[in-house]
């Protein structure tokens, strides 16, 4: 990966705050997990790291489950602020439907949509008082109120881990100042970088830094099968079960493919959100909920293939986890990022409709050895591009280039 930033990394670098909307063990959400690992990595390199986040864990209800205030976890200072959600009503739901339908909304309606969602007013006021005590404040992801509003408090110190993908929200006018008026933007992939240029010009200073992926020490697929009682061949999906991630489409297409080809697979899923399998998949969908890191790694190794049905991806960490485990990936070609990964690595299949999806599953069913061989280059692809050590080098250079030292 090309490093667009020059200069040496200077230590000690300064105080930095990372602002995920949620933070804690057992979260499902790539941006939040990545920022947790980034916080630990920067702290290990001498940065004075704090995490500013909500008291919530669930991104649907935003119920405050942690007490507000300051704690210390794994050596990091965690400052939690209450999440505030407006009384649910039809107004925001109607605006949401209009946005997703591609309708053009005025600025008033865009602002109303944003401010009727989750907000953290106490975080906003905290940054008004203390934002300049930090060298950099890193926000993610871009569509949340915490990023939209709070990044503008100290814009010359605000850096976005954008998590940008080609979705209707990205084209809203209210995000133009966010993309253009901060200290810098951190992109994970070339397609994400290119999309930003299509959406907003001029962009704030920016760099393509990649995304770190931890490397498991070992895998034990048999242990996974014994522990969870999973017999026979299966396909795996990991992540949030919701429409934005393509879960309902995956169930529909898997049901159709199974009937068309009499496939031998179950569908194992881990993560959060309702499963709701259709009647035609009775007994074929196995929900394991939240798994430990070792169980997750073993599940990737045990699967015949990993399925990525989402069109809206800025990086797709789960396909990296599959490739590290030697497991082939079957992914929705509607995601520019995922298609880019599969074409560069030559370790995955992409589909553009249910026919190609079904044919990909049939290939894995009848030629498992060939499917496994196809996945082999994937591990090298991850190791060459997405080790945390290299990603942190690029992140540090960006922060020290864009922000003023102590």
- Per-domain residue ranges of the chain: 15-212+387-402, 221-385
Confidence of residue 6 (pLDDT cuts 50, 70, 90): low
Tokens of residue 386, six digits: 């997405």
Give pLDDT, residue 315: 94
Q: What is the pLDDT averaged over residues 304-318? A: 95
CB 183 within 8 A of CB 403: yes
Q: Are 334 and 357 in contact (CB under 8 A)?
A: no
pLDDT of residue 396: 96
CATH topology (fold) of 15-212+387-402:
Rossmann fold (3.40.50)
Give the Cα separation of 289 and 160 in Å (integer). 30
pLDDT in tens, 230-257: 999 999 999 889 888 999 999 999 999 9
- CATH topology match: 15-212+387-402 vs 221-385: yes
CA separation for the pair 148, 107 (Å, rounded)? 14
| pLDDT reported for residue 1 | 46
Q: Identify the pLDDT of residue 92.
A: 84
pLDDT tens for each residue of 184-206: 999 999 999 999 999 999 999 99
Pair type for strands 234-240 and 266-272: parallel
Q: What is the pLDDT of residues 37-86, one digit of tens each?
A: 999 999 999 999 999 999 998 877 899 999 999 999 888 999 999 999 87
H or E stretch at 256 = helix 247-261
pLDDT of residue 26: 64
Query: Element (H or E) spanning 382, and its range?
Result: helix 368-385
The pTM of the full predicted model, rounded to 2 decimals, is: 0.90
Predicted pLDDT at 13: 81
Residue 2: pLDDT band (50, 70, 90) is very low
- Tell me the pLDDT tens digit for each residue of 202-218: 999 999 999 999 999 99
Element (H, E) at 51: strand 48-54
Mean pLDDT (whole number) for 16-34: 82
* Helices within 15-54 (DSSP H only): 30-44
Interval 346-398: pLDDT, tens: 999 999 999 999 999 999 999 999 999 999 999 999 999 999 999 999 999 99
- Helix extents (H) in 312-351: 317-324, 336-345
CB 56 within 8 A of CB 22: yes
> Would you call 325 helix, strand, or coil by DSSP?
coil
| β-pair partners for 268 | 236, 286
The predicted pLDDT at position 61 comes to 85
Architecture of domain 221-385: 3-Layer(aba) Sandwich (3.40)
């Amino acid at each position: 990966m090309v490093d667009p930033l020059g200069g040496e990394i200077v230590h000690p670098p300064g105080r930095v705050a990372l602002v995920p909307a949620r933070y804690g063990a057992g979260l499902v959400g790539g941006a939040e997990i990545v920022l947790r690992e980034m916080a630990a990595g920067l702290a290990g390199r001498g940065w004075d790291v704090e995490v500013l986040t909500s008291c919530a864990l669930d991104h649907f209800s935003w119920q405050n489950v942690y007490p507000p205030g300051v704690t210390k976890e794994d050596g990091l200072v965690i400052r939690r602020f209450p999440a505030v959600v407006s009384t649910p009503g039809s107004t925001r739901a109607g605006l949401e439907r209009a946005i997703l339908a591609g309708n053009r909304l005025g600025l008033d309606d865009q602002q109303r949509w944003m401010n009727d969602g989750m907000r953290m007013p106490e975080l906003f006021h905290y940054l008004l008082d203390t934002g300049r005590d930090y060298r950099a404040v890193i926000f993610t992801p871009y569509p949340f109120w915490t990023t939209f509003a709070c990044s503008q408090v100290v814009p010359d110190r605000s850096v976005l881990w954008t998590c940008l993908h080609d979705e209707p929200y990205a084209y809203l006018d209210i995000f133009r100042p966010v993309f253009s008026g901060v200290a810098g933007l951190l992109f994970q992939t070339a397609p994400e970088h290119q999309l930003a240029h299509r959406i907003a010009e001029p962009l704030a200073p920016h760099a393509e830094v990649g995304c770190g992926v931890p490397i498991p020490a070992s895998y034990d697929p048999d242990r996974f099968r014994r522990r969870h009682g999973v017999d026979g061949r299966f396909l795996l999906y990991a992540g949030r079960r919701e429409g934005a991630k393509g879960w309902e489409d995956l169930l529909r297409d898997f049901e159709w493919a199974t009937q068309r080809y009499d496939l031998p697979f179950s569908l194992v899923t881990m993560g959060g959100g309702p499963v709701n399998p259709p009647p035609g998949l009775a007994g074929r969908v196995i929900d394991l909920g939240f798994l430990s890191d070792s169980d997750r790694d073993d599940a990737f190794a045990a699967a015949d293939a990993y399925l990525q049905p989402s069109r809206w991806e800025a990086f797709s960490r789960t396909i990296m986890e599959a490739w590290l485990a030697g497991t082939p990936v079957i992914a929705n070609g509607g995601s520019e990022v995922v298609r880019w990964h599969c074409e560069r690595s030559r370790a995955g299949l992409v589909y553009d409709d249910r026919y190609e999806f079904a044919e990909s599953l049939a290939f894995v069913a009848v030629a498992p050895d060939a499917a496994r061989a196809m996945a082999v280059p994937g591990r090298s692809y991850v190791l060459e591009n997405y080790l945390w050590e290299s990603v942190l080098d690029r992140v540090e250079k960006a922060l020290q280039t864009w922000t003023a030292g102590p």
